[in-house]
């Protein structure tokens, strides 16, 4: 199976463009290329029920971040959501680029 290239990387600041958290921004904690999903800090929270254990004698309900599909996310470059493309840089390496301005992203 070929390696999937996504427009989102770990550490990027992204804006949610669809779904319950539409309009919110956050930092990408983890990218899951096999499922085309990303986990964003503080967004798409779900309740996880924890069973009682030796450390936690009474069970609890924890809020954790669930993965969001990357089609519902846009990378924020200098405070604005932007479309991302790929272009060869001076060294001949494929690098992410802002579609409107053509500037390379780190």
Q: Is residue 2 pLDDT above 70, yes or no?
A: no
Q: How many residues does the chain have?
A: 106
93 occurs within a structural domain:
no
Residue 24 has pLDDT above 90, yes or no: yes
> Within a domain: residue 101?
no
User: Is 17 a domain residue?
Assistant: yes
pTM of the predicted structure, to 2 decimals:
0.81
* pLDDT tens digits for range 37-85: 999 999 999 999 999 999 888 999 999 999 999 999 999 998 899 999 9
Give the CATH number, domain containing residue 29: 2.30.30.30
Q: How much is the pLDDT for 50?
A: 92
Could you list the residue range(s) of the whole structural domain that residue 42 is in?
A: 13-77
pLDDT at residue 92 in the model: 87
User: Is 7 contained in some domain?
Assistant: no
Domain count within the chain: 1
């Amino acid at each position: 199976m070929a390696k999937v290239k996504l427009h989102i990387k770990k550490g990027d600041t992204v804006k949610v463009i669809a779904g319950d958290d539409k309009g919110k921004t956050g930092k990408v904690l983890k990218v899951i290329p096999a499922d085309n999903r990303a986990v964003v800090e503080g967004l798409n929270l779900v309740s996880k029920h924890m069973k009682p254990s030796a450390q936690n004698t009474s069970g609890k309900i924890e809020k954790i971040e669930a993965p969001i599909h990357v089609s519902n996310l846009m990378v924020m470059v200098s405070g604005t959501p932007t479309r991302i493309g790929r272009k060869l840089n001076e060294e001949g390496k494929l690098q992410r680029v802002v579609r409107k301005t053509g500037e390379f992203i780190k």
